[in-house]
């Protein structure tokens, strides 16, 4: 950094103004920022509770979609996840190397693969779904049943209205 520094005799630090509080008002009135903060907060619950399973959010989402939609292609699943199919390749590689998901080459269209959970994957997901439900329960308990359902509805209304 080659920029000159001025000296400030009125700096607001915790040492000279212990009562000083940061004003975030303008930011917290925004949906974008508030969504980001809420997601960061939700991620903490996810990590705390899902930690023993060592399944990242993106992996869990992919596993759920393959489980609920066996035989679909990588393009179909990645599109449903809202990610680029290019980014889904390495994610799938991981899940396949972990022995949870299987790519089966399709007869009808030899360009594509049909995706399935393996036996191990099925076994894992039986447990993962239960643990994940605990994480969701922890989040829902922050708001109570009524408001967490309401939040869910509003989030979908928001995301679908684009």
Binding residues (CB under 7 A) for DNA: these are: 1, 13-15, 36, 40, 56-59, 73-76, 82-93, 103, 108-113
- Decide which of DNA, a copy of itself, none touches 56; Cβ closer than 5 to 8 Å per partner kind: DNA
Task: Write out the two tokens for 82.
Answer: 């809202």
- Decide which of DNA, a copy of itself, none touches 33; Cβ closer than 5 to 8 Å per partner kind: a copy of itself
Dihedral angle computed from the Cα positions of residues 103, 116, 101 and 129, in that order, rounded to the nearest 10 degrees: 160
**Which residue from 43, 72, 66 is spatially nearest to 56, judged by alpha carbons?**
43
- Smallest gap from Cβ 89 to DNA, in A, equals 4
- Smallest gap from Cβ 39 to a copy of itself, in A, equals 4
Whole-angstrom distance, CA of residue 105 vs CA of residue 87: 20
Sign of CA dihedral 40, 45, 51, 57: negative
Query: Is residue 37 within the footprint of a copy of itself (CB under 8 A)?
Result: yes
- Decide which of DNA, a copy of itself, none touches 6; Cβ closer than 5 to 8 Å per partner kind: a copy of itself
- Cβ–Cβ contacts within 10 Å for residue 100, how many? 24
How many residues of this chain bind a copy of itself (CB under 8 A)? 92
């Amino acid at each position: 950094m080659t920029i000159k520094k001025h000296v400030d005799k009125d700096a607001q630090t915790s040492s000279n103004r212990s009562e000083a509080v940061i004003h975030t008002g303008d930011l917290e009135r925004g949906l974008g920022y508030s969504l980001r903060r809420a997601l960061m907060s939700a991620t903490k619950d996810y990590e705390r509770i899902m930690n023993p399973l060592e399944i990242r959010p993106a992996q869990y989402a992919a596993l759920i979609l393959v489980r609920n939609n066996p035989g679909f292609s990588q393009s179909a699943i990645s599109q449903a996840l809202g990610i680029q199919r290019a980014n889904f390749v390495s994610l799938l590689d991981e899940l396949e190397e972990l022995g949870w998901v299987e790519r089966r080459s399709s007869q009808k269209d030899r360009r594509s693969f049909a995706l399935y959970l393996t036996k191990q994957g099925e076994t894992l997901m039986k447990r993962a779904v239960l643990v994940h439900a605990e994480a969701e329960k922890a989040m829902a308990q922050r708001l109570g049943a009524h408001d967490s359902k309401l939040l869910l509805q509003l989030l979908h209304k928001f995301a679908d209205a684009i």
